[in-house]
Structure 1
């Protein structure tokens, strides 16, 4: 667009110059009665004018005409410039319209990790609020309809349902996603899944409701705290590294397995050694899994538990090739009792 404007201004400049030259030529011819066939420089016109010293009136008349022509051409340029600006503003979207997509929200680095019993009061049943996806910045509106141990919500409109489905690549999914919720001047860290279930009452094209969890919230049936949701909440709050620094060896393995289950290596990153983070056979585990279950066994007593330990986990995972059952053995190490555990080796 900038190049087009520069080209247009260059065109105006040249047209204005040529038109001024044409006016001057005609005035000279009429004033002097002499044919001036060829001149390219305006200076040559001025030389011709001063040859007629005995015709001062005509000379003055010519100077006045030249001044008037300059003003006329300047007004032409101004008017054409105004029309150009109007055309550009009409054809191009305004800055406010083109700044960001309709469903995009400027993402803050982290949210506030708040206990469920506090969030329950901030977002009562019937409240309408915005849900922002941490990874993409896409947002949509929901209404809390029910839920005591966590929030059962529904998308507000068909458009909100479309945004939610887009976040899950067009397929409803139980996978957890880290979210941010702006409410009453605060930005809360939360976690959601994208699977419709149960009843729904809004005309929104969403067949049921979905769940949003906060720190310490639990499921309604089992009343258990869901590790996947809790780690996503810590991710939304920027607290994964802090949690990992004080986590037990079993919790460190849990972070790895949840990251693997949710296909999100960012959850496992704080507990992986730098060598494993560069190992493609390990990083590839965070891609292609559609569903997964795991069971962590008690730590082995093979090593001194203070600085090194070994933990096994039974894993069932589904991918494009079907079901796979494996046993993973994790070797963890830390330099001292005040340091966090790091997974330094994985056998599977």
Structure 2
């Protein structure tokens, strides 16, 4: 169960808690146009049925002492881990109250750089156990189109089952649009994501949709998707085979 907070939407709840939007709507008899209210109780899918394959269980830990203004969501962003993982590590629930001075366990994932097929190809990193930790929420990466070699910068704004990204500037949006032939598109392209010393094989589409964090100054209304090995769609938690083929192309495998 989840109690709606001010500013919540069904989409944002699904992203923050890492659950498929369509299942949240079905469980609660809601649709995309439904209005939700503060303190409304939202039923959530059984977490056990949504566990991603090969979930990491052996992360090392550091500790954080709760300070004024801390929330599980903000701490998950600060430390670059999914909020459900932070909650599980500390035996907490979505609506648990944090207390000043409370000591929380923070899982730490040290992802080593993997060898690649060639200098042109990327590392094949699993989304659930590797890529999402290399590229945490709120951080910036350079995306290189595998075929044209054109590059642009994006920030990872949202996304639990894959990366929801926004071009960093209007110039980045222009380059991105050029790569897709001058129009926004759902078609997928193999790309390389350069972030935190890694060069990761990935797949991107270029259709702006849903919510945004940057605003209008990047001339991109919404966010677009970047997928990694074994990542899934947010709407139904299914693997997109077109994205997976493009990822393997970028990895040379």
Q: TM-score, normalised by structure 2?
A: 0.51
Aligned to 2:156: 144
Aligned to 1:289: none
Aligned to 1:171: 183
Aligned to 1:222: 236
1:217-268 residue CA offsets vs partner (Å, 9 max, x unmatched): 00011110000000000000000xxxxxxxxxxxxxxxxxxxxxxxxxxxxx
Within the candidate set 113, 118, 123, 1:112 is matched to: 123
Q: Secondary structure at the match of 1:192?
A: strand
**Structure 1 CA distance for aligned equivalents of residues 202 and 190 of structure 2:** 6
Q: Secondary structure at the match of 2:152?
A: strand
The answer to which structure has the higher helix fraction is: 1
Q: Which has the higher contact order (CA 8 A, sep 6+)?
A: 2
Aligned to 1:209: 223
Aligned to 1:235: 249
Aligned to 1:185: 197
**Structure 2 CA distance for aligned equivalents of residues 108 and 180 of structure 1:** 11
Q: Secondary structure at the match of 2:121?
A: coil
**Structure 2 CA distance for aligned equivalents of residues 171 and 108 of structure 1:** 30
**Structure 2 CA distance for aligned equivalents of residues 183 and 127 of structure 1:** 9
Aligned to 1:309: none
Is 1:123 paired with 2:135?
A: yes
Q: Give 1:108 shift.
A: 3.6
Q: Secondary structure at the match of 1:231?
A: helix
Q: Secondary structure at the match of 1:132?
A: strand
Asked if structure 1 preserves the Cα contact closer than 8 Å seen for 2:135 and 2:196, the reply is no
Aligned to 1:197: 209
Q: Runs of 5+ in structure 2 lacking a partner? A: 1-117
Asked if structure 1 preserves the Cα contact closer than 8 Å seen for 2:191 and 2:202, the reply is yes
Asked if structure 1 preserves the Cα contact closer than 8 Å seen for 2:232 and 2:238, the reply is yes
Aligned residue pair count: 133
Q: Name the CA shift for 1:108/1:136 in 2 (closer, same or farther; >3 Å).
A: farther
1:272-313 residue CA offsets vs partner (Å, 9 max, x unmatched): xxxxxxxxxxxxxxxxxxxxxxxxxxxxxxxxxxxxxxxxxx
Asked if structure 1 preserves the Cα contact closer than 8 Å seen for 2:140 and 2:195, the reply is no
Q: TM-score, normalised by structure 1?
A: 0.38
- 1:280-295 paired onto structure 2 within 5 Å: none
